[in-house]
Amino acid sequence: MTDPKLALSTRAVHVPAADPVGGRPLSVPIYQTSVFAHDDAKTITDALNDPRGDFAYSRLGNPTVRALEHAMAELEGAAGAVATASGMGAIAVALGAQLRAGSHLVVQRSIYGGTTGLLDDLVARWGLSTTEVDGDDPAALRAALRPNTVAVYLETISNPMTVVADLPAMCAVAREAGVLTVVDSTFASPMVCRPLELGADIVVHSATKYLSGHSDVTGGITAYADEKHFRAGWAYAATTGVTPDPFATWLIIRGLQTLGLRMRQANSNAVALAETLAAHPAVDRVHHPSRPDHPQHELARRILDGYGAMLSFDLAAGEHAARAFTASVRLIQQAASLGGVETLTVHPSSTSHRSFSDEALAAAGISRGTVRLSVGIEDPADLVADLTQALEQC
Ligand SMILES: *Cc1c(COP(=O)(O)O)cnc(C)c1O
């Protein structure tokens, strides 16, 4: 209780927190506080300097945020993890903490558009240089390395063609050369792939996608094999202020609790839809690592648990068929995101890849008849029915 001799307006300001007595909250509490009070200056200073210490100021550390960081570090087998306000924030932290003016990066071909935009900006602003290689070509990676190469940037499963990176081979080449490997594993989630176990140094996720899983929050996370890189990432995130809000973080924690169940259902739905699509006369080609004709099918069997729930397919009749398909789905929603409980579709050449020329699309393996699906957790029979009726319109 606050001192009853104080004025009412003062007592209204100083609301004491209720300490739980004799019971622990089962759900992680939302510490919706920007700052933490201490009894002496030294504990504040210590907290401000230590990502593993006490809490002083929420941009540098918050108990709700740290709960997510601990959970993700465990799932990825990491020394530590740093949560961010978005997936792009995570990528900016993973790279920003390592790069210097003039650094060279080796980057997988056809990565997420937002990341390409960030790299283009870094190149223009800080004199960075990049070399593109295929994600499953360790010889090309070896040839691309330079004395000023600081990192290799890969994606476990690419958008929208579901190219699977040969993480063991690529990480081995980078490691031998003393170069870090950074892997965007958003399309896989730790249920499908754990890049640090395969030799990567830093893994990044857009938590907006599978980790939260309900299309209701934007967030990101970086996880580090090494304590030194974790501390550098934490310092960079705290300095640039890309750390997340406790409530957004709590939504991600809540989603994470069902990640295993959701991924199991979505992965098995995706295999079923890929089969349906492959057997349909309107479809030229299905791109999903479960398909025996997928270029990295054998690699996917080796390094993934399940094949993921992202897939794309090429409609034989091209662009107008793709537009007819995305306009005809009923249960499936047309939306430019992924990884939620609901099945979504997009037409990449008019949305995520709209700035690509015909040559650039061809180089990425995308046609104007390519359609992407983010497969959700609905009953597979309902998804097959919606897919089939929409394909009738193509
Ligand atoms: C969505 C996405 C991002 C960016 O994440 P945001 O949460 O939107 O900032 C990065 N990489 C991949 C592969 C994504 O799908």
pLDDT tens across 99-134, in order? Answer: 999 999 999 998 999 999 999 999 999 999 999 999
Q: Is 269 in the pocket of ligand 1 (CB under 6 A)?
A: no
What is the DSSP pairing of strand 129-133 with strand 310-315? unpaired
Q: Is 209 in the pocket of ligand 1 (CB under 6 A)?
A: yes
Mutate to test the pocket of ligand 1, among 110, 111, 112, 352 (most ligand atoms within 8 A of CB): 112
Atom of ligand 1 nearest to the CA of 337: 1
Domain map (residue ranges) of the chain: 41-256, 259-391
Over residues 7-16, the mean pLDDT reads 90
Q: Is 156 in the pocket of ligand 1 (CB under 6 A)?
A: no
Crossing angle for the helix pair 259-278 and 380-392, nearest 10 degrees? 40
Share of residues in the chain with pLDDT > 70 (%): 100
18: pLDDT strictly greater than 90: no
Share of residues in the chain with pLDDT > 90 (%): 92
Taking the centre of ligand 1 as the mean of its atom positions, its distance from the CA of residue 30, in whole angstroms, is 25
Q: Which residues of 55-92 are buried (b: 16+ CB within 10 A; e: fewer)?
A: bbebbbbbbbbbbbbebbbebbebbbbbbbbbbbbbbb
Taking the centre of ligand 1 as the mean of its atom positions, its distance from the CA of residue 107, in whole angstroms, is 16
pLDDT score for 75: 98
Taking the centre of ligand 1 as the mean of its atom positions, its distance from the CA of residue 350, in whole angstroms, is 18
* Token representation of residue 162: 């579901």
Decide: helix, strand or coil at residue 179: coil
pLDDT tens across 133-171, in order? Answer: 999 999 999 999 999 999 999 999 999 999 999 999 999
Residues 6+ apart with CB under 8 A from 250: 28, 30, 64
DSSP assignment of 239-290: HHT-PPPHHHHHHHHHHHTTHHHHHHHHHHHHHHHHHHHHT-TTEEEEE-TT
Residues 6+ apart with CB under 8 A from 382: 331
194: pLDDT strictly greater than 80: yes
Taking the centre of ligand 1 as the mean of its atom positions, its distance from the CA of residue 335, in whole angstroms, is 14
Mutate to test the pocket of ligand 1, among 93, 186, 212 (most ligand atoms within 8 A of CB): 186
pLDDT score for 151: 98
Quick one: which of 236, 243, 198, 225 has its CA closest to 84? Answer: 243
Active site residues: 59, 112, 184, 209
Rounded to two decimals, what is the model's pTM?
A: 0.97
pLDDT score for 1: 64
- For domain 259-391, the CATH class is alpha beta
Over residues 365-388, the mean pLDDT reads 97
pLDDT score for 238: 97
Q: Is 213 in the pocket of ligand 1 (CB under 6 A)?
A: no
Taking the centre of ligand 1 as the mean of its atom positions, its distance from the CA of residue 16, in whole angstroms, is 40
Q: Is 113 in the pocket of ligand 1 (CB under 6 A)?
A: no
Average pLDDT, rounded, for the chain: 96
Q: Is 289 in the pocket of ligand 1 (CB under 6 A)?
A: no
Listed in sequence order, the DSSP H helices in 294-346 are 297-303, 319-328
39: pLDDT strictly greater than 70: yes
Gyration radius of the chain's alpha carbons: 23
Distance from the first to the final alpha carbon of the chain: 69
Taking the centre of ligand 1 as the mean of its atom positions, its distance from the CA of residue 206, in whole angstroms, is 5
Q: Is 220 in the pocket of ligand 1 (CB under 6 A)?
A: yes
Amino acid residing at 228: K
How far is 54 from 31, CA to CA, in rounded Å? 14
pLDDT tens across 232-284, in order? Answer: 999 999 999 999 999 999 999 999 999 999 999 999 999 999 999 999 999 99
Taking the centre of ligand 1 as the mean of its atom positions, its distance from the CA of residue 117, in whole angstroms, is 12
Over residues 185-194, the mean pLDDT reads 98
19 pLDDT band (50/70/90 cuts)?
confident
For the domain spanning 41-256, the CATH number is 3.40.640.10
Taking the centre of ligand 1 as the mean of its atom positions, its distance from the CA of residue 207, in whole angstroms, is 8
3: pLDDT strictly greater than 90: no
Q: Is 63 in the pocket of ligand 1 (CB under 6 A)?
A: no
How far is 281 from 364, CA to CA, in rounded Å? 24
Atom of ligand 1 nearest to the CA of 187: 13
Q: Is 87 in the pocket of ligand 1 (CB under 6 A)?
A: yes
Atom of ligand 1 nearest to the CA of 90: 9
Q: Is 64 in the pocket of ligand 1 (CB under 6 A)?
A: no
Does 289 sit behind a cis peptide bond, omega within 30 degrees of 0 on the bond before it? Answer: no
76: pLDDT strictly greater than 80: yes
How far is 208 from 251, CA to CA, in rounded Å? 10
Q: Is 230 in the pocket of ligand 1 (CB under 6 A)?
A: no
Nearest residue (by CA) to ligand 1, atom 8, is 87
